[in-house]
């Protein structure tokens, strides 16, 4: 499965090299949402994160000829996304106010007993956005992208000990923030 995905990406990259822009469109379509999720883990504000992601994909388009067909494309892409986001964070030192995040996410005043999937998503994302960038990023890489510690080390450049510690803290903190947001209704999410 993993190999077929790898080959699908390699094929698309070769087509892009031959000047096929629709192949690039396809490649972006495949990775845009997970890339944005990782970017939001670091930058916190989804609007700014999307702008950064645009720059990332433009960079990827121009640098695609330097891609070596050894690692998977996703690993290469996510490394660029993460590095660009951390650089952006350093530049702006933007500590987004939690109220801004609430506004961006447009949190609903929902009947928590009957939360639909979209509402659940908003609460989960709000809880994730209250975590430290490293914790949120590692949780998403581990549980959403289903990467192993070794692969996460390759993508982020973090040491395995840091990855394990931050994952542990992330697990505790997300539970804490969800509990704060939802109280006993947290069980409705599970």
Partner 1 sequence: MKEENLKKLISKSTVETSNDFINNLMNAIEAQKETKKMSFRFSFKMVLLVCSTLTLILSGLLFNILGKESRLFDSLTEDIPKTPVFLVITLTLLYYINSIIRLNYYNTKK
Element (H, E) at 178: helix 160-182
**Minimum CB–partner distance for residue 140 and partner 1 (Å):** 6
* Rounded Cα gap, residues 90 and 28, in angstroms: 26
Instruction: Please report, for residues 10, 14, 51, 78, 81, the alpha-carbon distance to residue 71 in angstroms, rounded to integers and kept in the order given.
Output: 10, 15, 27, 12, 16
53 scored as a contact of partner 1 (CB under 8 A): yes
Sign of the alpha-carbon torsion through 92, 97, 98, 101: negative
46 binds partner 1 (CB under 8 A): yes
Residue 132 is encoded by which pair of tokens? Answer: 């430290």
Is 32 a binding residue for partner 1 by CB under 8 A? The answer is: yes
**Contact between 82 and partner 1 (CB under 8 A)?**
no
Tell me the number of residues near partner 1 by CB under 8 A: 35
Q: What is the smallest separation between the CB atom of 23 and partner 1, expressed in angstroms?
A: 12
Binding site for partner 1 (CB under 8 A): 21, 24-25, 28-29, 32-34, 36-37, 40, 46, 49-50, 53-54, 57-58, 61, 117, 120-121, 124-125, 128, 139-140, 143-144, 171, 174-175, 178, 189-190
């Amino acid at each position: 499965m993993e190999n077929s995905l790898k080959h699908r990406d390699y094929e698309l990259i070769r087509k892009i090299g031959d000047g096929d822009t629709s192949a690039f469109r396809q490649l972006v379509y495949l990775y845009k949402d997970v890339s944005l999720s990782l970017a939001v883990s670091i930058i916190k504000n989804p609007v700014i994160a999307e702008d950064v992601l645009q720059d990332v994909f433009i960079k990827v388009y121009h640098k695609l000829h330097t891609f070596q067909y050894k690692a998977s494309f996703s690993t290469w892409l996510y490394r660029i996304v993460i590095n660009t986001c951390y650089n952006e964070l350093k530049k702006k030192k933007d500590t987004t106010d939690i109220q801004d995040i609430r506004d961006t996410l447009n949190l609903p005043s929902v009947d928590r007993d009957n939360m639909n999937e979209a509402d659940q998503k908003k609460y989960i994302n709000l809880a994730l956005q209250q975590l430290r960038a490293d914790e949120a990023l590692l949780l998403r890489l581990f549980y959403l992208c289903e990467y192993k510690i070794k692969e996460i080390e390759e993508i982020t450049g973090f040491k395995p000990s840091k990855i394990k510690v931050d994952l542990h803290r992330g697990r505790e903190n997300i539970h804490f923030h969800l509990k704060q947001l939802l109280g006993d209704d947290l069980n409705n999410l599970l």
